[in-house]
Structure 1
Amino acid sequence: MRKAERLNEIVHHLRRMHQAVTADTLAALFEVSPRTIYRDIQDLMDSGIPITGEAGVGYVIDKQYHLPPIMFDADEIEAIALGIGMVSNWTDAAFARKAKSAYEKIQATLTAPMIHELTQISTFSAPSRYKIPWKVNFTEVRECIRRKQFVTFSYLDLSDQVTERTIRPLALISFSPIWLLAGWCEMRQNFRNFRLDRISDFSVSPQRFRDEKGKALSDYLKEQDECV
């Protein structure tokens, strides 16, 4: 990775983080020495980017800082277009509209050569007759995840047994053509995955939950990694 690209990626990384990031962590991430990171950070600070650091604590960036317009290469544009096509074909109409809106905003920032690259795209996501329909409102489920609201529903398992579940919804996961709702199940007191097409009588509780140790999305993802 060239230095200019690394400097840009350091800024992006610091903006994503909600806590200070050490030079050692950045060095491991970008596969350079801590000394190189020290120089990179100083170069960024000298250029006016509001990064502050403290020995033994790490670096943080002022979240009010806005980056210059992002530049994409041809492969990045194609990857974005493919992802938006997949969203349009495998989610719902509301989310598809959001994806289209995002893509239009990205297009508005592109240079003339990049606009030309859009006409050369050769990777597509087409509608599939194998898509499995579901009864729940996909956008509503996403909003419950974002708002951290308990949800209750009837679930038909693979043995055709129906149970009533109350869960903390954590994520929607695509295993085309199946969508899974991952969450902490209050009945099982463990993480569970539920197929959207087997959920009925979906109800949103006004009660919200807070992330608790052992029950949060990060814990779920860690458990999934350990199972691989």
Structure 2
Amino acid sequence: MRKAERLNEIVHYLRRMHQAVTAEVLAHAFEVSPRTIYRDIQDLIDGGTPITGEAGVGYVIDKQYHLPPIMFDADEIEAIALGIGMVSNWTDESFAQKAQSAYRKIQATLSAPMIHELTQISTFSAPSHYKIPWQVSFTEVRECIRRKQRVSMAYLDLNEQLTRRTVRPLALISFSPVWLLASWCELRQDFRNFRLDRISDFTRLNERFSDEKDKSLATYLKRVEQKQAAARANDCGT
């Protein structure tokens, strides 16, 4: 990655963060040394970017700082178009409309050469008969995740056993053609993945939940990462 590109990406990275980010974290994210990050941050500050930092705490950027218009290259445009197509084909109509709306806004910012690149796209997502239908509202599930709203639902497991669950919905994860609802299950007092096509009677409860470290999405993802690392280690040992 060229330095100019890295500087731009550092600004984007800091704007996405809700807390201070250390040089070590940035160095790992951009695969450079902390010393390089120190120089990059100083170059950005010297150029007028409102970044502040404190030793041992990290860097933050003024969220009111406006970036110049985003520029995409041909591969980035193709990746965005492919992602829009996959959202359109593998979610629901409401989310597909949002994806198409976002794509139109992106198109409106493109230069003439980039508009031309859109006509050269050669990767597509097509509708598939392998898509497994579900009874619940995909959009409603997303809203419950965003609003941190507890839900009650009936779940039919792979052994055809039906149980009633109260869960904290954390994320929707695609394992094409299956969608999983990652949750904290209050019945099992542990994280569980529920297949969307096996959920019925999905009911919002008038209860919000707050992030608790042991029941959060971050902890869920960390546990998944640990399981994957253990599986890779086992594969290497066989």
- TM-score w.r.t. the length of structure 1 is 0.97
Partner Cα distance (2:123, 2:156) in 1? 37
Partner Cα distance (1:57, 1:200) in 2? 46
CA offsets, 1:113-150, max 9 Å, x none?
00000000000000011111111000000000000000
Partner Cα distance (1:24, 1:213) in 2? 23
Does 1:62 pair with 2:62? yes
Q: 1:31 deviation in Å?
A: 2.7
CA offsets, 1:142-190, max 9 Å, x none?
0000000000011111111110000000000111111111100000001
- Bigger mean CA offset, 8-17 vs 92-101: 8-17
Give 1:26-41 correspondences, 5 Å limit: 26-41=26-41
Does 1:167 pair with 2:167? yes
Deviating above 4 A after TM superposition, structure 1's stretches of 4 or more consecutive aligned residues are none
2:46 match:
46
2:235 match:
none
Structure 2: any 5+ residue segments left out of the alignment? 229-238
CA offsets, 1:91-119, max 9 Å, x none?
00000000000000110111100000000
Q: 1:28 deviation in Å?
A: 2.8
1:118 match:
118
Give 1:1-228 correspondences, 5 Å limit: 1-228=1-228
- Bigger mean CA offset, 48-57 vs 155-164: 48-57
CA offsets, 1:38-90, max 9 Å, x none?
22112211221111112222211001112111111111100100000000000
Q: 1:34 deviation in Å?
A: 2.6
SS at match of 2:215: coil
SS at match of 1:63: coil
SS at match of 2:9: helix
Amino acid at match of 2:37: I
Partner Cα distance (1:105, 1:193) in 2? 34
Amino acid at match of 1:103: Y
- TM-score w.r.t. the length of structure 2 is 0.93
SS at match of 1:136: coil
SS at match of 2:158: coil
Partner Cα distance (1:34, 1:134) in 2? 48
Partner Cα distance (1:177, 1:79) in 2? 20
How many residue pairs were aligned? 228
Partner Cα distance (1:89, 1:78) in 2? 17
**RMSD over aligned Cα atoms:** 1.0
Q: 1:30 deviation in Å?
A: 2.1
Q: 1:226 deviation in Å?
A: 1.4
SS at match of 1:163: strand
